[in-house]
Amino acid sequence: MIEIKDLKGLQRGLDRLADKMDAGARKAIGETAAEVFVTSQSLVPVDTGDLRSSGAVSGVVKIDDVYQVAIGYGKDYAAFVHEDLSANHPHGGQAKYLEQPLNSSGETLANKLARAIK
């Protein structure tokens, strides 16, 4: 409960609320990005294992009121493998190994954000 006695108290309360919302948003986005990455790891095609091992998730940053996180694979052929729908992957995996889990994460992220700012 926030007790407001004057305008300075109101501002302090609003600042604390904004900080709590920021922390919650960062946590929800970071957790969801990690889940997307883990799912993508099970879908990324494997030949030598180099592509899978090049995957990474960055930390959440906020730039101009926009939260950003990068999830990706660091091999120069990663985009080609991701987009080639006709490729045969005899050792497992599939095209769209990152896009599929990302597209499926919207509801999870929305629920985590809602819980975080409650």
pLDDT tens for residues 25-81? 999 999 999 999 999 999 999 999 999 999 999 999 999 999 999 999 999 999 999
Percent of the chain clearing pLDDT 70 (strictly above): 97
Q: Is residue 97 part of a domain?
A: yes
Q: Is residue 18 part of a domain?
A: yes
Q: Is residue 11 part of a domain?
A: yes
Q: Is residue 1 part of a domain?
A: no
pLDDT for the residue numbered 39 = 96
Average pLDDT, integer, range 90-103: 95
Residue 2 pLDDT exceeds 60? no
C-beta of residue 25 within 8 angstroms of C-beta of residue 113: yes
Q: Is residue 2 part of a domain?
A: no
Band (1; pLDDT cuts 50, 70, 90): low
Q: Is residue 102 part of a domain?
A: yes
How would you class 33 by CB atoms within 10 Å of its CB: exposed for 0-12, middle for 13-18, buried for 19 or more?
buried
Q: Is residue 60 part of a domain?
A: yes
- The pair of three-digit structure tokens given for residue 100, joined into one six-digit string: 């599929």
Residue-number span of the structural domain to which 83 is assigned: 7-117
| Closest by Cα among 29, 25, 35 to 116 | 25
Model pLDDT for residues 10-30, shown as the tens digit of each residue? 788 788 888 888 999 999 999
Q: How many domains, the chain?
A: 1
